[in-house]
Structure formats: structure tokens, C-alpha cells
A = this chain, B = another copy of it.
């Protein structure tokens, strides 16, 4: 009958234990972000095809799952060789947020602090840790051009990560902060030409992997002057001064006033709010890939891992393209799937497992017996316990083993005597 048991390629079935972990982490995320005044919103999983292919999504636009037109519209499209899709699955939560804000800003508070948790889809080649349907979790502040936005975003995210990882031995992490305008000023003041910057930053972004020497030689291969490259990269060898303002001395020609001071305020106020397991540092080598960032950028790394588990920044020019009026915007996106993978790899899903009482009832019980069973179950549930009432199977040992694997710790057999 052609029935396929496996999920669609690159997508996952979540069994109860993994699902309990996911739901508990999501509940922690919701609780923490709510305490910072972020309000959850939701947009449909599908967007108009013209929005998705409007060149705001960069490489992700190649990976869109398109949804076929239906009925007469499909026949017409096939006949005329037109676009066959009228919508597609969203590939991120930023584009839908822009559309949402354009549609609803008149009834939203300003600034608006949004939390979005939802699935996104990308028809990428599946590989370890990369799925075709995955959960994204974004907070964004729209309409606040001040550093308060960065302080709230970083404080909320760091606080949330501290809560999640406090249950584990993976607890320490570092928030790296930089500003696109400082990156730019450093390059220009060193004598690198404006038109080379995009490529320069792509190379600098590989610093972790190829080291300062590697960056130097790749920059020279670009045909940039060896002298300018030397001046540019020298700074990455040196220790970083105590303040961003001090670091930026000499960059004034290409750096707007107040940028360094703003970053110092963000660092100062955020450091105060962090617990013992988190640090925040100015990292002049931090690049972040997305082209749409216009100011501050930030990234969180667990100290044991070399990849980021959260990242974001300011993108003051994006919402305006959709909403028609300029709106400062700043966001932080946590790598939900990465966090889940790390917790699973370290066996920390156990910490999130449900316990419970299983009452196994022998077949043929009288109504009185059942009344007693369900009264006991109700009383235990009223105490906050999880209780399941099930028929006792012939192979009781097998049944009980499975229930214990499933997290039930108190297993009671009820016989008719």
C-alpha cells in the first residue's frame, strides 16, 4: 500500500524522553523571557512566496520548501508555465517578524519586545545536527535605538542560559560583544579599501580556525597591501585594553561618536547582572555572518565548545524595508537545537525526565475495585504526582521494565485477590 514508516527526509520524530527535555527547556525559556517583558507572538508557518523570495533571506532563499497552488490556479500555472507555488515554508523567524510588524505596528506598544518560538524549514542537505525542520527561538526589540535594548537582550539571554545550564556541569559560558562600526573603522584606519571590507570580514570570521597568521596570508592573497594588512592584524595579537573607548582611540576618523562609549555601557551594565558562571567580553574579532547587521553584534559560546549557542545584533535598516518606515531593531537568537543536542550528549535529558506512579490493574476487576483504583489515582494526582492506570500485561516484567525506562519510579500491581 506504499505506506512509509520513516519521517520525511531530514525531519524528526521526537519520542517522549526527548520531547520532555524540549518542552522543559522551552518552558524555562518562556518563563525567563516573560520576566523581562518579552511578549510571545506567532505567525503562520507559511508565508507568501513573493515575501520569501524577496532577497532578504540570502542563501536561505535557495532552500525554501514551496507549497503548490491548488485547483484552477495550479492548472493555469502549469498551462502558462508560471510560478507553481503561491506560498512557502518560512526559513527563519526574522522575515515573518518584519511582516508581522508591518501589519500590526499600529496596535503594538513602542518599543515592542517580541518572543518567537517556532519551527522553520530549510531544504538543506541533512547532516549531523542539521535538520530540515528545526525550532528557532528569537527575541527582538523593535523601536528602541538605545543601549537599553542590548542590555535587556543580553541580560535575558544570559540569565536564561544560566538557568538551563545550572542543572549541568557545562555551566560556564562567555558572551562576546563587538560592533560592526568598530570592525569597519579598524579596517579603514589600517588603510584597507572600503570595497574590500565584505571579503575581509569573511576571512576574519575564520580567525578561530586559521589563526592570525592564516588571516594575514589570506588577506595578502586578496591583493591587499602587505603594510595595511600588517597594521590591521597587529591589533589582534595584542591584549585588549580595559575599555572599548581606550581600544578605539585613534579610530575617530571612521567611527561615529558614542559607539565605543555605548559598548562600554552595555558591557558595564550587563556584567553586573551576570551570575558566577557567565562572563561578557569585548571581542574586536567577532564578525557574525549575516549581512544585515548595522551596529552591535553578540554571540554566546559555552566554554567547552568552539561554536556559538546564541547570537544576534542590531539591524536598524531591515524592518524599514518591509514596514516602509525606519525602525531600529535588535535581536538575539538562541541555538535551541544545539542546546538540546548538548544536553542530550551529556546525558542531561535525565534531569528533565518525568517521574510517576504506574498502577497496573489485573483484568476482570470489579467496579468497586476500579472505583478504589481511580480514587487512589485522583488523590495522588491532587498531590501533584503523575499517575497512569494501565492493564497489567501477562508479561509483567517486560511491561514494568519499559515503564521504568519511561521514567515511572513507583510501580504498583493491583490484583483481584
| Residues of A bordering B, CB below 8 Å | 1-8, 11-16, 19-20, 22-23, 27, 30, 34-37, 39-48, 50-51, 54, 65-68, 70, 84-85, 87, 89, 99-100, 102-104, 107-111, 113, 119, 121, 123, 133, 144, 146, 148, 151-152, 155, 264-265, 268-269, 272-273, 321-322, 354, 356, 358, 361, 363, 367, 370-371, 374-375, 378, 381, 384-391, 393, 399, 402-403, 405-406, 408
Contacts and interface: CB of A to CB of B under 8 A. Distances in A.
A51 B100 contact: no
Given A66-B68, A70-B123, A85-B68, A385 B35 contact: yes
A63 to B, nearest CB: 9
Nearest to A370: B269
A390 B150 CA distance: 11
A119 B121 CA distance: 15
Contact of A44 (B7, B264, B268, B374): B7
Contacts of A50: 2-4
B45 A387 contact: no
- Copies of this chain: 2
A98 to B, nearest CB: 9
27 contacts: A3-B54, A5-B99, A7-B47, A7-B103, A13-B41, A13-B100, A13-B104, A14-B41, A14-B42, A15-B41, A19-B39, A44-B133, A45-B45, A46-B121, A65-B67, A66-B67, A68-B85, A109-B402, A110-B399, A144-B391, A146-B363, A148-B370, A148-B391, A265-B370, A269-B374, A272-B371, A272-B374
Contacts of A361: 148
A322 B6 CA distance: 12
Contacts of A113: 388
A54 B3 CA distance: 8
A99 B68 contact: no
Q: Which 7 pairs across A and B sit closest by C-beta, in order of nearness?
A: A37-B388, A16-B39, A11-B44, A109-B402, A14-B42, A66-B68, A5-B103
A417 to B, nearest CB: 18
A23 B5 CA distance: 31
Among A2, A3, A85, the one with the most B-chain Cβ atoms within 10 Å of its Cβ is A3
Given A34-B354, A133-B46, A152 B389 contact: yes
B107 A4 contact: no
Contacts of A42: 13-14, 19, 22
A385 B37 CA distance: 9
Contacts of A107: 15
A269 B54 contact: no
